[in-house]
Amino acid sequence: MNVKQALKQKNKLVTEMKVAYGILQKFNSIEEGNPRRYSMANTLEKIKTLQAELVELKTKIHKANQPVYDKIFALAELKGMIKELKKVSTEEGKVNERYGSIISVKEVELNVTDIDSAVSILETQIEGLQNELDVHNATTQI
């Protein structure tokens, strides 16, 4: 199994665990006399089994990704930077305030095109890193 397949399997296990936890939380307490559709003991056992598989798989992925952690961390930081840049106010010129007719005049150091340009550059860097990670994930066996 390569890293790409392992990541897909990890996501599948996480989803299965969420479903099992949902069953446990929803169906543990039922009206007396009503049929019990799920065994809580079996569901809890399933969660423990899935958890053990998930820990083993995450450990293998972690070890396999050691050579590319710098790329993984850089990718996360670049995505975080884009998220924060998109929050920067770029309102400039005459602006009507929300609850009245007061007009303020705003100026910016970085306008909307500056922010868009910076985001575009970061997205290009992300694409390059992602391509490198895709190759690693497809070719590295765990």
> What tokens appear for 84 in the block?
């924060």
Distant-in-sequence, close-in-space partners of 46: CB < 8 Å, separation ≥ 6: 20
pLDDT in the model for residue 102: 72
| DSSP string across 114-131 | HHHHHHHHHHHHHHHHHH
**pTM listed for this prediction:** 0.79
pLDDT in the model for residue 142: 93
Domain ranges, ordered by start, for the chain: 1-64, 68-142
pLDDT in the model for residue 74: 98
pLDDT in the model for residue 94: 81
103 SS3 class: strand
pLDDT in the model for residue 100: 64
Residues of the chain short of pLDDT 70, as ranges, are 100
pLDDT in the model for residue 141: 96
